[in-house]
Amino acid sequence: MISFFVFLRIMDHKENINYQFNGKIDSVFYDLKGSPTIMVNGKAYYLSDNDWLFNTRLEKGDLVFKKSKQMTIKLARHNTGEVIIIKESTPAF
Protein backbone atom coordinates (compact mmCIF):
# COMPACT_ATOMS: atom_id res chain seq x y z
CA MET A 1 0.00 0.00 0.00
CA ILE A 2 2.83 2.41 0.81
CA SER A 3 4.37 1.85 -2.61
CA PHE A 4 1.09 3.01 -4.18
CA PHE A 5 1.28 6.31 -2.29
CA VAL A 6 4.92 6.75 -3.29
CA PHE A 7 3.90 6.14 -6.90
CA LEU A 8 1.15 8.78 -6.66
CA ARG A 9 3.60 11.26 -5.10
CA ILE A 10 6.09 10.72 -7.93
CA MET A 11 3.38 11.16 -10.58
CA ASP A 12 2.15 14.36 -8.90
CA HIS A 13 5.69 15.76 -8.85
CA LYS A 14 6.25 14.89 -12.53
CA GLU A 15 3.06 16.73 -13.48
CA ASN A 16 3.99 19.80 -11.43
CA ILE A 17 7.56 20.01 -12.76
CA ASN A 18 6.23 20.10 -16.33
CA TYR A 19 3.90 23.03 -15.66
CA GLN A 20 4.82 26.23 -17.45
CA PHE A 21 2.86 29.43 -17.02
CA ASN A 22 3.34 33.16 -17.26
CA GLY A 23 0.45 35.49 -16.62
CA LYS A 24 -2.21 36.84 -14.34
CA ILE A 25 -4.19 34.52 -12.06
CA ASP A 26 -7.74 34.61 -13.42
CA SER A 27 -9.12 32.65 -10.47
CA VAL A 28 -7.85 30.60 -7.55
CA PHE A 29 -9.52 27.83 -5.55
CA TYR A 30 -8.22 25.98 -2.50
CA ASP A 31 -9.01 22.33 -1.71
CA LEU A 32 -9.62 20.98 1.80
CA LYS A 33 -5.86 20.55 2.36
CA GLY A 34 -5.22 24.15 1.37
CA SER A 35 -3.61 23.35 -1.99
CA PRO A 36 -4.43 25.95 -4.65
CA THR A 37 -5.67 25.41 -8.17
CA ILE A 38 -5.02 28.49 -10.27
CA MET A 39 -6.36 29.51 -13.67
CA VAL A 40 -3.77 31.29 -15.82
CA ASN A 41 -4.51 32.17 -19.44
CA GLY A 42 -7.56 29.89 -19.37
CA LYS A 43 -5.69 26.80 -18.14
CA ALA A 44 -5.95 25.18 -14.70
CA TYR A 45 -2.88 24.26 -12.65
CA TYR A 46 -3.18 22.25 -9.43
CA LEU A 47 -0.29 23.26 -7.18
CA SER A 48 0.00 20.42 -4.71
CA ASP A 49 1.04 21.50 -1.25
CA ASN A 50 3.43 18.56 -1.29
CA ASP A 51 5.66 20.25 -3.86
CA TRP A 52 5.84 23.91 -2.82
CA LEU A 53 6.25 25.86 0.39
CA PHE A 54 3.31 28.25 0.28
CA ASN A 55 3.87 30.87 2.97
CA THR A 56 1.33 33.13 1.31
CA ARG A 57 -2.07 32.81 -0.32
CA LEU A 58 -2.33 33.29 -4.04
CA GLU A 59 -4.91 35.84 -5.13
CA LYS A 60 -6.85 36.65 -8.27
CA GLY A 61 -4.89 39.28 -10.20
CA ASP A 62 -1.47 38.20 -8.96
CA LEU A 63 1.12 37.58 -11.67
CA VAL A 64 2.79 34.15 -11.68
CA PHE A 65 5.69 32.76 -13.66
CA LYS A 66 7.05 29.20 -13.78
CA LYS A 67 9.34 27.54 -16.32
CA SER A 68 8.95 23.90 -17.29
CA LYS A 69 11.44 21.56 -15.57
CA GLN A 70 11.94 24.02 -12.71
CA MET A 71 10.23 23.92 -9.32
CA THR A 72 10.27 27.63 -8.50
CA ILE A 73 7.29 29.94 -8.89
CA LYS A 74 7.75 33.71 -9.09
CA LEU A 75 4.75 35.63 -7.76
CA ALA A 76 4.14 39.38 -8.10
CA ARG A 77 1.35 40.75 -5.92
CA HIS A 78 -1.30 42.64 -7.89
CA ASN A 79 -1.97 45.18 -5.14
CA THR A 80 1.61 45.96 -4.00
CA GLY A 81 3.97 44.74 -6.73
CA GLU A 82 5.86 42.75 -4.08
CA VAL A 83 7.75 39.83 -5.65
CA ILE A 84 7.70 36.51 -3.78
CA ILE A 85 9.68 33.43 -4.74
CA ILE A 86 7.93 30.15 -3.90
CA LYS A 87 10.40 27.28 -3.62
CA GLU A 88 10.10 23.54 -3.81
CA SER A 89 9.23 21.99 -0.44
CA THR A 90 10.91 18.62 -0.94
CA PRO A 91 13.86 17.48 -3.01
CA ALA A 92 13.11 16.02 -6.44
CA PHE A 93 13.06 12.26 -6.83
What pLDDT, on the 0 to 100 scale, is given for residue 89? 62
Give CA–CA dist 13/35, Å, rounded. Answer: 14
Q: How many domains does the chain have?
A: 1
Residue 2 reports pLDDT greater than 70: no
Give CA–CA dist 76/79, Å, rounded. Answer: 9
Domain that holds residue 7: 2-86
The pLDDT mean for the chain works out to 79
Of residues 12, 19, 4, 17, the one with CA closest to residue 33? 12
Give, for 67, the enclosing helix (H) or strand (E).
Answer: none
Q: What is the pLDDT of residues 26-70, one digit of tens each?
A: 999 988 888 889 999 999 999 875 666 666 789 999 999 999 988
Burial of residue 24 (CB within 10 Å: 0-12, 13-18, 19+) is middle
Please check whether residue 42 lies inside any domain of the structure.
Answer: yes
Please check whether residue 16 lies inside any domain of the structure.
Answer: yes
What pLDDT, on the 0 to 100 scale, is given for residue 71? 84
Residue 3 reports pLDDT greater than 50: no
Please check whether residue 49 lies inside any domain of the structure.
Answer: yes
